[in-house]
Amino acid sequence: MADLQSLDTIVSLAKKRGFIFQSSEIYGGLGAVYDYGPLGVELKQNIRREWWNAMTRKHDNIEGIDAAILMHPRVWEASGHVSSFNDPMIDDKQSKMRYRADMLIEDHIRRLQSKGKTDDAKRVQELLDTSGTRKSLTEDLYDIIIGEEIHSPDSGAFDWTEVRQFNLMFKTQFGSTSTGDNNDVVYLRPETAQGIFVNFLNVLNTSRQAVPFGIAQIGKAFRNEIVARQFVFRMREFEQMEMQYFVNPESDVENYHRWREERLNWHLSLGVREENLRMADHPKDKLAHYAKMAVDVQYHFPIGWQEVEGIHDRTNFDLSRHQEYSGKKLEYFDPKTQQRYVPFVIETSIGLDRCTLMVLCDSYREEEVAGDKEGSSETRTVLKLHPKLAPITAGIFPLVKKPELQDLANKLVHQLNDDYKVQYDEKGSIGKRYRRMDEAGTPFCITVDFEGLADQTVTLRDRDSMEQIRVSIDKIDQAIRDKAKNWKPE
């Protein structure tokens, strides 16, 4: 049994089976923008539902909202995105490729380490860590790249432009009387969180909640990412699932630790294997300007350990800034303790697309199994998805194309499709139909045969063990429910 070796394998399976396509493909595609196909949209929807239920239904002090993508431009001044949501970029003049300056230097440090030049690696790391203290940040990064003679990774050239700050927010014009000047500029939100902060009072005043309480939201976010070459891991249009938990400033630490644990458990509840998940604390000197403490939930992708979710203690940074920029008080008065304060916020923020990629990667297996012919073997590709996430829960097949079997199979489709996404399939051999369902991650296949016509039974095939059991038709719903409930990752 082999796990996933390369992200390319998932990219081609995703395209071949209709999980994920490149946007506007017939026009040559649009960089780092993707569309979800029939299987992908179901998978994504199931993950979205799991998150929403875990965060809102299972917590009676968390409310949901759905804020607009376009917000008042002052929001992004208050949040700091206008002034500092930048990446320092440098262009290779020969290939015209653009790179993140700090990442070029980090790659150079890794190369020095792998060559055993630890003193040099340490020296450059120190230069990188203190960038912005000698001249400006961009000038210091440029000096390191030139001083260390870092060559372009793709062309090998040493012909760089200056380092420039590149803001990642997409701008658009607002209203039909747009004059093209900066007065009508609005941004496509780069995170959903700010829609929550600006609605803090609205939710507090209308929902009868009291601190501590949370606001959850799922929605699109947009970032003009420069280095976006890793499929749906880094996209320009993506979906976030964020929750801001408003707490008394004296209880932020305990709530931060509680949410770390809850969020890791949620990832495990999706069936992601424990050995592929880890928590990576942000070192104090690498914390975002608004954060007191932060940790990433990381997954071991074929491209290495990478962040899937971030949990931050954002202090009262955002509410205080919105209070300052809007002139509206965003305080909370606690009637029990008679305290008045601007609440602290514990944020949990996960990318739905990145989470979908994690689930696809973790479920991917190639297995040697018996072939159709006696004594032969073949490789099956199977997605061992948790049944609650699988795009199709059950494939329903008549053994052969005979009306009495087709009728019963169709009857089963109607019996199950209120509760599950099921798919009828009568094309090809049973073996081929199983393989198609394995690749789609379908946990159960139900086959109607002549034996079953007589005693009203069908065979239920388990995707992971490939075992088949005979189940009476009126017990099939229960059998699927029990198997799905008891499913464990292997």
Query: Nearer Cβ to ligand GAP, position 356 or 442?
Result: 356
CB 456, min distance to ligand GAP, A: 48
Rule CB under 6 A: say whether 89 interacts with ligand GAP.
Answer: no
Can you list the positions of beta strands (E) in 322-421? 332-334, 339-341, 344-351, 364-370, 377-383, 394-398
On the question of a cis peptide bond just before residue 212, with omega within 30 degrees of 0, the verdict is yes
Backbone φ and ψ for 395, nearest 5 degrees, come out as -90, 135
Rule CB under 6 A: say whether 351 interacts with ligand GAP.
Answer: yes
Task: Choose the binding region for ligand GAP from 133-141, 195-203, 233-241, 403-411 (rule: CB under 6 A).
Answer: 233-241
Q: Are 436 and 463 in contact (CB under 8 A)?
A: no
CB 375, min distance to ligand GAP, A: 47
Query: Nearer Cβ to ligand GAP, position 103 or 479?
Result: 103
Q: Are 245 and 220 in contact (CB under 8 A)?
A: no
Rule CB under 6 A: say whether 349 interacts with ligand GAP.
Answer: yes
Distance of CA 256 to the CA centre of its chain: 21
Rule CB under 6 A: say whether 313 interacts with ligand GAP.
Answer: no
The amino acid at 369:
V
Q: Which pair of structure tokens corresponds to residue 376?
A: 């032969």
CB 295, min distance to ligand GAP, A: 11
CB 243, min distance to ligand GAP, A: 10
The amino acid at 83:
S
Task: Choose the binding region for ligand GAP from 33-41, 108-116, 304-312, 321-329 (rule: CB under 6 A).
Answer: 304-312
CB 239, min distance to ligand GAP, A: 8
| Angle, CA of 232, 83 and 99, to the nearest 5° | 45
Region 211-230 residues binding ligand GAP, contact defined as CB under 6 A: 223, 225
Rule CB under 6 A: say whether 234 interacts with ligand GAP.
Answer: yes
Q: Which residue is nearest to ligand GAP (CB)?
A: 351
Rule CB under 6 A: say whether 166 interacts with ligand GAP.
Answer: no
Q: Which of 293, 308, 412, 446 binds ligand GAP (CB under 6 A)?
A: 308
Q: Which of 36, 197, 200, 238 binds ligand GAP (CB under 6 A)?
A: 238
Beta bridge partners of 278: 298
Rule CB under 6 A: say whether 350 interacts with ligand GAP.
Answer: yes
Rule CB under 6 A: say whether 87 interacts with ligand GAP.
Answer: no
Query: Nearer Cβ to ligand GAP, position 234 or 433?
Result: 234
Q: Which pair of structure tokens corresponds to residue 227?
A: 């280095």
Q: Which residues of 267-286 are buried (b: 16+ CB within 10 A; e: fewer)?
A: beebbbeeebbeeeebeeee
Q: Are 153 and 145 in contact (CB under 8 A)?
A: no
CB 228, min distance to ligand GAP, A: 7
CB 308, min distance to ligand GAP, A: 5
Rule CB under 6 A: say whether 235 interacts with ligand GAP.
Answer: yes
Task: Choose the binding region for ligand GAP from 212-220, 317-325, 346-354, 418-426 (rule: CB under 6 A).
Answer: 346-354
CB 196, min distance to ligand GAP, A: 9
Rule CB under 6 A: say whether 263 interacts with ligand GAP.
Answer: no
Q: Which residues of 349-373 are buried (b: 16+ CB within 10 A; e: fewer)?
A: bbbbbbbbbbbbbbbbbeeeeeeee
Task: Choose the binding region for ligand GAP from 136-144, 175-183, 232-240, 417-425 (rule: CB under 6 A).
Answer: 232-240
Backbone φ and ψ for 221, nearest 5 degrees, come out as -135, 155
Query: Nearer Cβ to ligand GAP, position 194 or 363?
Result: 194
| Binding track over 171-210 against ligand GAP, x by CB under 6 A | --------------------x-x-----------------
| Angle, CA of 120, 122 and 128, to the nearest 5° | 105
Beta bridge partners of 280: 296
Residue 65 neighbours by CB distance under 10 Å: 16
Task: Choose the binding region for ligand GAP from 234-242, 245-253, 269-277, 479-487 (rule: CB under 6 A).
Answer: 234-242
Q: Give the separation between CA 100 and CA 126, rounded to whole angstroms.
A: 18
CB 235, min distance to ligand GAP, A: 4
Using alpha carbons, select from 382, 394, 383 the residue that is nearest to residue 272: 383
CB 309, min distance to ligand GAP, A: 5
- Quickly tell me which residue has 């799922």 as its tokens: 218
Using alpha carbons, select from 342, 280, 284, 285 the residue that is nearest to residue 311: 280
Q: Which pair of structure tokens corresponds to residue 260?
A: 């770390």
The amino acid at 175:
G
Instruction: Kindly state the number of chain residues that form the binding site for ligand GAP, as judged by CB under 6 A.
Output: 19
CB 222, min distance to ligand GAP, A: 9
Where does this chain bind ligand GAP (CB under 6 A)?
A: 191, 193, 223, 225, 234-235, 238, 240, 242, 307-310, 347, 349-351, 353-354
